[in-house]
Amino acid sequence: MIDYTEKIPNNVDLGRDRVLQRALEHWQPAYLSWWYDMGPNESHNFEVYLRTAISVEPDGWAQFDYVKMPEYRWGIFLQPRDEKRQVNFGMHKGQPAWQDVPGEYRSILRRIVVTQGDTEPASVEQQKMLGLSCPSLYDLRNIFQVNVEEGRHLWAMVYLLHRYFGRDGREEAESLLARRSGDTDNPRILGAFNEPTPDWLAFYMFTFFTDRDGKFQLCALAESGFDPLARTCRFMLTEEAHHMFVGESGVSRIIQRTCEVMKENKVDTPADVRALGVIDLQTIQRYLNFHYSVTLDLYGSDVSSNAANYYTSGLKGRFRETKLEDDHILQDAAYPVSEVVGDKIVTKQVSALTALNERLRDDYIEEIQAGVNRWQRVIDEAGIPFRLTLPHKGFHREIGNFAGHFISTTGEILTEEQWKAHEFKWLPSPEDYKYVQSLMSGRVTELGKFANWIAPPVKGINGRPLDFQYVRFN
């Protein structure tokens, strides 16, 4: 169970380590002032029907109640330790899992923790203004839930920094509160976390695509031989699942509403669809293309000696590492990677160790495709002849083998000029953004009411009805 009588709720017996406790209590006000600055805009007095972790057991870890977000009990929750756990891959395979940071891996591990930690506050910053244009109280509550949990994910990483990385760790924890998404001088570390999230379609796409990158990174780190990191990530994954649900169901409800309006009014051109105040499927496809491609970049270079090192050292595993049936060393294994040669995309076999980024990206794509197929079913059931597709892996990429090439959504290699001529057929144009934002000019706050451009969800939160007061504004 989690001790909520402490200033910082935790299940790591924080009270026993006074130095650490004091360091974290020192960081806590800095965190809060970051939340006041960069958390959801003008929300500090709202009472939000939020869930809070009360135990790390899979059933019943959540308690629901009204909470003012700055009073949310952010804390430190790790999955319980398995005394028999081992390093399950790489050159240390079979050794007991490390309870402390191995000296030789200190700087790499710190880098891994900082890079993961940096994404958490970044997404809160990216979503800061969206509460002002929510389509319902239900959705407003959901974005706030995502935001407070991303805040807790920051706590999760900061705990590791303070507990295991000494003075350097404390400095990194401060820098995590100093960088800002999209800032020219001091941006967040990874590209996708500096992109704006200007509207609710972008928010749902972000939580579907980019929070799922979070899931895959956490899954890989949950395999780590450094046990405290693995246990931290395992608990974070239970929270991440809700973020992806918000994204998938959000996009699905937008598609559903568009299809309903198209059917009722027997219209199909984007202009006619827009005239009825919903988002045309073509625009949804362009948003999908954008969020998919910028998220694919987060996995890093297709061929990477860093990725090989992380694995061989036992620091970062593969997706579901312990469920895979091979030697977990990969010294002689190969994996296919694509690259552009002349005017063709060719696939070649490379060392599986250097291709681990690509492998994780492929695992991710498989899950994404399944989600897109579920969206497609909504369109099919409405009897509308439109196909949502994932663009080619090389489309609109800035990192890895496709960077610097101009590849169409269907995988043709084009000149820059040809590509530019099609850009806004494939990616949202300034007009698309303007249109979508025009639908979201204010908050919908009437109980049980939903904006015209989105269908209501199937059910409410925690068994509550759809017309429940999910947020009190005071």
Would you tell me which residues interact with Fe ion (CB under 5 A)? 120, 150, 153, 211, 214, 240, 243
Taking the least distance from each CB to Fe ion, the nearer of 122 and 379 is 122
- Contact by Cβ (8 Å): 435, 274: yes
Taking the least distance from each CB to Fe ion, the nearer of 211 and 223 is 211
Taking the least distance from each CB to Fe ion, the nearer of 220 and 278 is 220
Quote the longest CA-to-CA distance of the chain.
68
Report residue 438 as tokens: 């025009």
Taking the least distance from each CB to Fe ion, the nearer of 198 and 214 is 214
Taking the least distance from each CB to Fe ion, the nearer of 24 and 221 is 221
CB of 263 to Fe ion, least distance (A): 34
Work out the angle at residue 62's Cα, subtended by the Cα atoms of residues 58 and 65, and round it to the nearest 5 degrees.
Answer: 175
Distances (CA, A) of 92 to 215, 219, 314: 25, 19, 6
- Contact by Cβ (8 Å): 76, 10: yes
Taking the least distance from each CB to Fe ion, the nearer of 235 and 453 is 235
DSSP 6: S
Give dist(CA 412, CA 419) in Å, integer. 10
Give dist(CA 318, CA 299) in Å, integer. 12
Give dist(CA 246, CA 252) in Å, integer. 10
Spell out the residues 6+ positions from residue 212 whose beta carbon is closer than 8 angstroms to its own: 244, 247, 295, 364, 367, 368
CB of 237 to Fe ion, least distance (A): 10
CB of 153 to Fe ion, least distance (A): 4
CB of 289 to Fe ion, least distance (A): 22
Taking the least distance from each CB to Fe ion, the nearer of 125 and 150 is 150
CB of 236 to Fe ion, least distance (A): 6
Strands 413-414 and 406-407: antiparallel
CB of 127 to Fe ion, least distance (A): 11
Find the helix or strand (DSSP H, E) in which 23 lies: helix 18-38
Taking the least distance from each CB to Fe ion, the nearer of 23 and 124 is 124
Give dist(CA 273, CA 270) in Å, integer. 5
CB of 119 to Fe ion, least distance (A): 7
Q: Looking at this protein, which amino acid is placed at residue 205?
A: M
Give dist(CA 52, CA 242) in Å, integer. 13
Strands 413-414 and 344-351: unpaired
CB of 419 to Fe ion, least distance (A): 32
